[in-house]
Structure 1
Amino acid sequence: MRPDERRLRRLELVVTRRLDGLLHGSYLGLLPGLGSEPAGSREYRPAEDEVRRMDWAVTARTTVPHVRTVDADRELATWVLVDASASMDFGTADLEKRELAVAAVAAVGFLTLGNGNRLGAQMITPEGTRRFPARTGRAPLMGLLRALAETPRVDGTASLADGLAAVRLARTGLVVVVSDFLDGLHEDGLGDRPPEWERPLRRLAARHQVLAVQVGDPREQELPDVGILTLVDPETGLRREVPTASRRLRERYAAAAARQQASIAAAVRRSGAAHLRLRTDRDWIADIVRHVHARRRLSRAAIKRGRTA
């Protein structure tokens, strides 16, 4: 068995064992959300409900604003958009961001497959976009993970905005975007203009459930004190020597990185997508579990409120 194959088998074992409690029980999916099967209506709650879910017929009949309630779908299509740009080939902790992206896709696959659900993917690279048709079952998922893991590393940029705009689903489904979201930021993400990928992400979220999985590395947030450090931009090749012994420089770097991350989080929030942050120095499975449990608690609470309204 090849080393890459052994790594994928270990990844499968780790994911299925750690996520075993989430893979059983009532069907709620990775992002329990609106679904599409009608299940009635309830009164509209400002700041909780989306206007696009308004049930205008019931609202007109009762003169009280109501929203539609729906049951969770079966046989959904989950589409994964994976960023394979050169900025993902970076990691200073347990693994690289690219490897963390593959792990995230594995978790998404094992959490969403079943009940006839299909999983497809689109990978954006500096050389273009590679598309994997949506299929059911373990074998296609393992094939997808193998293709992602074996994708050649190429210098250059890849447009996340273009990749988002190219996602097309015939029916309402789940779209998972796995990226560091560093592409398309204006003035290093510190300006007032929104990122280039915000508008296409918002368009996707208007029709589908969207989960933005942001992968990062601790060195993107703060610099260590290691003397003169040569930094290279993997997408442009720009090199710069940085005197990390300067405390002022490290503080300025950390402050700029924090503003950049806040800008990304704000753009994801404005788009209406759910936001999951994973880091190469953290227990990424535990972060996914916490995220899924939190989303399911919110979903159950909303269903309970709807039944008692």
Structure 2
Amino acid sequence: MRDENGTRPDWAPPVLRGERLEAGLRTLELEVRRRLDGLLQGNHLGLVPGPGSEPGEARPYQPGDDVRRMDWAVTARTTVPHIRETVADRELETWVVADLSASLDFGTALCEKRDLVVCAIAALAHLTAAGGGNRLGALIANGAQTTRIPARGGLAHVRGLVRRVATTPRAPEGTRGDLAAAIEQLRRPPRRRGLAVVVSDFLGDTAWQRPLRALSARHDLIGVEIVDPRDVDLPEVGTVVLADPETGRQREVHASPLLRKEFAAAAQAHRDQVAAALRKAGAAHLVLRTDSDWIADTVRFVVARKRRWSGGVA
């Protein structure tokens, strides 16, 4: 896969399959370290820069504060709304839901969407599991099976987890993914407060909204949406065959200007619905595209979160 000039950009994700898997994983780790190390000032505070689980001092409520941190005892005593500050934990536990259902076995730009899932998890691991005592776990779901990797710390564990995601078998054609079920598995049993990250293309229905909202009661949330250009726009090539990899159904259509316009409108409406659902669940929203510099997009996302938590304008 090449860009419009016929060359592969330096920021393109490495090939993560077959004989090139091990070399690709080494290249990915080096690239993530090189471009994300500057964001590690303050340890994991780049992704979870505020709430912890230890109670701190109370202060008057201000518009925009999380009402779940309301200190009702102080509020009743002073008759002025107060919230209870919390002290950030010294150790962070991060859990990732990696959606590798059949719709992610697809890509028309610089990589397949499932490659970008691996890249996103490698970046998140570097940003959250680099500090002493921090732990990373994962639920990997391809529709046919769900694999749970316990949360542990250490570089060897992180490398093994990323490799496990990269080597997860593709589901048989016609296997429908169930993102809602994977998120529900993350909820039970309840875990200590930490960071929960869902990496998916979020195509299909939005039944995952309810379990995701339930997660927000205990965890900070990040939704990483993986997008390919053909998810949002049909090519102007005449007759095309549209296939649903999760049902196996195919349909041949003529990509007329009207059909392309209607497809783009429907795709944008679905993406708006996904963004609204993540927002209602209290999740931060990171979009990574197969035709874009995914590390630069990640950097902008983390910097914006730091600014918001420090009181600046994103």
On whether the aligned pair clears a TM of 0.5, the verdict is yes
The answer to whether 1:104 aligns with 2:120 is yes
1:31-180 equivalent positions in 2, closer than 5 A: 31-46=48-63, 48-113=64-129, 114-154=131-171, 155=173, 156-167=175-186, 168=188, 169-180=190-201
Task: Name the CA distance, whole Å, in 2 between partners of 1:44 and 1:242.
Answer: 57
**Counterparts of residues 1-309 of structure 1 (less than 5 Å):** 3-25=20-42, 28-46=45-63, 48-113=64-129, 114-154=131-171, 155=173, 156-167=175-186, 168=188, 169-183=190-204, 185=205, 195-244=206-255, 246-301=256-311
RMSD: 1.5
8 Å CA contact retained: 2:70, 2:83: yes
Aligned-partner residue type, residue 171 of structure 1: R
1:18-47 Cα deviation digits (max 9, x unpaired): 10111234651423231112221221123x
Q: Secondary structure at the match of 2:122?
A: helix
Supply the AA of the counterpart residue of 1:70. Answer: T
The 2-side partners of 1:68 and 1:92 are apart by 49
SS of equivalent to 2:38: coil
1:189 aligned partner: none
In structure 2, the CA distance between the partners of 1:3 and 1:157, relative to structure 1 (3 Å rule), is same
CA 1:27–1:159 in 2, change beyond 3 Å: closer, same or farther? Answer: closer
Pairwise CA distance, 1:219: 1.0
Q: 2:151 aligns to what SS in structure 1?
A: strand
Q: Does structure 2 retain, via aligned residues, the 8 Å contact 1:232–1:240?
A: yes
1:71 Cα shift? Answer: 2.3
SS in 2 for 1:126: coil
| Whole-angstrom CA distance in 2 between matches of 1:115 and 1:296 | 21
Supply the AA of the counterpart residue of 2:196: V
Three-state SS of the structure 1 residue aligned to 2:132 is: coil
CA pair 235-133 structure 1, distance change in 2 beyond 3 A: same
In structure 2, give the amino acid aligned to 1:280. T
Aligned partner letter, 2:254: P
Matches of 2:33 and 2:197, distance apart in 1? 19
Residue 174 of structure 1, CA deviation: 0.5
- Secondary structure of 1:212 counterpart: strand
Which amino acid letter does the alignment assign opposite residue 269 of structure 2? R
Q: Which secondary structure state, in structure 2, belongs to the residue aligned with residue 73 of structure 1?
A: coil
Shift of 1:3: 2.0
Cα distance in 1 for partners of 2:156, 2:250 equals: 42
Any unmatched runs of 5+ in structure 2?
A: 1-17
Letter in 1 for 2:48: L
Contact 2:44 2:128 in 1 (8 A): no
Name the CA distance, whole Å, in 2 between partners of 1:2 and 1:24: 36
Contact 2:46 2:303 in 1 (8 A): no
Amino acid at match of 2:221: V
1:188 alignment partner in structure 2: none
Q: 1:243 to 1:196 in 2, by over 3 A?
A: same
SS in structure 1 of the partner of residue 118 of structure 2: helix
TM-score, structure 2 length as denominator?
0.89
TM-score (norm 1): 0.90
**Change in 2 beyond 3 A, CA 1:101/1:249:** same
Provide the aligned length of Structure 1 versus Structure 2.
Answer: 290
TM-superposed CA distance for 1:153, in Å, is 1.0
Relative to structure 1, the CA distance from residue 143 to residue 26 in structure 2 (aligned partners, 3 Å threshold; closer, same or farther) is closer
CA drift at 1:141 = 0.9
